[in-house]
Amino acid sequence: MSRASTTTLALVYIFVTLAGSCSRATGGALQEAFYKGKCRTADVEVVVGGVIRAWFSRDPTIAAALLRMQFHDCFVNGCDASILLDGKNTEKTAVPNLSVRGYEIIDAAKAVVDSICPGVVSCADIIVMATRDAVALSGGGRYIVQTGRRDGTVSLAKNVNLPAPSITVSDSIKAFSKKGLDSTDMVYLLGGHTVGIAHCSLFRDRLYNFQNTGKADPTMDSTLLNTLKARCPQNSTVDNTVNLDQNPLSSMTVDNSYYRQIILHRGILQIDQELALDPLTNPTVTAIAKGFNFSTGFGQAMVKLGAVEVLTGTQGEIRRSCRAIN
């Protein structure tokens, strides 16, 4: 969710063109340590990790920003960095993506990597590596990512069709299934809401006119309801924000606190609360909330997300600038 934008870095790009076709792969060509031996003596993941640590030290909220960026990229045309492309009608301009941030972070990592081995590392892989590093720095555990993606050349706002905050659990399961992700993956990936924020406009209906009843959502904890009404007045022209994880001690930590909160009827978005209420997902939510292996499950789900409809081999290209096709 949107927070104050981070400082833009001045970047110099080294131009090397590696163009190809734009057909889609299944993700089978991805592999761990794909760049080993391909960037002189440098370890690409260590290089990217150093950039992310520097940004995180100034702004820990980049974890939520990068998680959102990866999800929004992978869910539209697959994990091909199409969300990074600038233009009048690119994915960036679609309403759900207007509050996506973190582009400068990807630019910074790309510039450092390309200063060592230009034209080798894709922007799509940088998104995945950067997100993993930000999650680890936020206490979420360090999962092993697969790399070898190529960058896409198509980015259209009209292709952006992301699950809405008010989507039903069954419809959400169908949407994730179309991407090769099962209901357990979905529950873990929505656990990314353990960090980040939501604008009042995304859940105000739950406070004042739930499903056109003229009343609040009866499933919401009464104390939380009063707190949110104070933060989000019914007719306010200011679109305030609240933490998606309502545990103040954990709202900046990638952990299972989000699941414990929704079990207590303290979910912010409708889909968050429905995860805990719907019999299709309640058992998974309960198991994660009571368990101790959230980091493992979350990492596995992120790896599966990162393999959605990827370009590999000679497909796509390695962009010179993450913001433009070659």
pLDDT per position as a tens digit, 131-186: 999 999 999 999 999 999 999 999 999 999 999 999 999 999 999 999 999 999 99
Percent of the chain residues topping a pLDDT of 90: 91
Distance CA 158, CA 310 (A): 20
Catalytic site residue from 51, 65, 72, 75 = 72
Query: Binding site residues for heme b, as ranges?
Result: 193
Mean per-residue pLDDT, 250-254? 96
Query: Binding site residues for Ca(2+), as ranges?
Result: 73, 76, 78, 80, 82, 91, 194, 245, 255
Mean per-residue pLDDT, 109-131? 98
Query: Binding site residues, as ranges?
Result: 73, 76, 78, 80, 82, 91, 163, 193-194, 245, 255
Distance CA 79, CA 176 (A): 14
Amino acid at 198: A
Which stretches of 75-202 are DSSP H helices? 103-116, 123-137, 169-177, 183-190
pLDDT of the residue at 154? 97
Confidence of residue 29 (pLDDT cuts 50, 70, 90): confident
Amino acid at 28: G
Confidence of residue 21 (pLDDT cuts 50, 70, 90): very low
pTM of the model: 0.90
Beta strand residue intervals within 131-253, DSSP E: 146-147, 197-199, 241-243
pLDDT of the residue at 13? 26
Q: Is 72 a catalytic residue?
A: yes
The answer to whether 311 and 154 have CB atoms below 8 angstroms apart is no
